[in-house]
Chain A
Amino acid sequence: MLIDGLSWACLIAGGVFCCIGAVGLLRMPDFYTRTHAASVTDSVGAGLILLGLILQAGLTLVAVKLVMIGLLLFFTGPVAVHALAKAAFNRGLKPLLADTDRSASAASPLQPMPTDEQLPTPGLEEAPSKP
């Protein structure tokens, strides 16, 4: 009964954390902040949901497989997001800094990112360079 309650709480909390990460992925203004929001889904949400399933499974082979899935997600999720951020930075995607475009971000907090065609010369650099 206690195990069932703990499992229920872990599953619901994991689902809520997954949704929080997805909302952050949708609403954050920048690619690099979106990676921060997506790692919530990868670490906390997946960990809590797998912990709830482990509590349901008990000491069986199913629990061992769930631990293997958890370890796989725990080690490879940050590696994939790190490779993604490094590739984006090497390709020239500029982070949205607070002091470079304060006027633009004050006008619209969800201003569009530079698209694929604008990546070699990002339009964000033109704002502070005017005399």
Chain B
Amino acid sequence: MFATATLFLLLTVSLALMRAVIGPSVFDRLLATNTIGTCTVLLLAVIGFLTERPEFLDLALVYGLLNVIGTVAVLKFFRQGNLGDPGNSEKAGQ
């Protein structure tokens, strides 16, 4: 049953990866990246049970922390600086 859950999670990651590739705005790509990070945490936990090595849970914990910090850091960069778009600097700086 762990293999079935792994397959479901891999399907989820591939669908989110499609959204990250075709996403029109940068926020869609960030949302898909956030979903991929959550699924990676779950995938690490399930693979730890699948291979009967529960040490993978520590990796999952650390990856969850890094995922959240990465998302919030990128968003803070977006809100405070511009991305080099001409004519958008005064709007992005608010």
Residues in chain A within 8 A of chain B (CB atoms): 7-8, 11-12, 14-16, 18-19, 21-23, 25-26, 31, 34-35, 38, 41-42, 45-46, 49-50, 52-53, 56-57, 62, 65-66, 68-69, 72-73, 76-77, 79-81, 83-84, 87-88, 90-93, 112-117, 119-120
Contact = CB atoms under 8 A, between A and B. Distances in A.
Given A69-B60, A114-B24, A34 B46 contact: no
B5 A90 contact: no
Given A11-B1, A19-B12, A42-B34, 16 more contacts: A11-B4, A14-B8, A14-B42, A18-B8, A18-B42, A19-B11, A21-B35, A25-B31, A41-B39, A49-B42, A49-B46, A53-B49, A57-B54, A65-B54, A87-B79, A116-B26
Given A25-B19, A46-B38, A87-B78, A7 B25 contact: no
Q: How large is the interface on B (under 10, 10 to 19, 20 to 34, 35 or more residues)?
A: 35 or more
B38 A41 contact: yes
B60 to A, nearest CB: 6
Interface of B: 1-2, 4-5, 7-9, 11-13, 15-16, 18-19, 24-28, 30-32, 34-35, 38-39, 41-42, 45-46, 49, 54, 57-58, 60-61, 64-65, 68, 71-72, 75, 78-79, 83, 85, 87-88, 91-92, 94
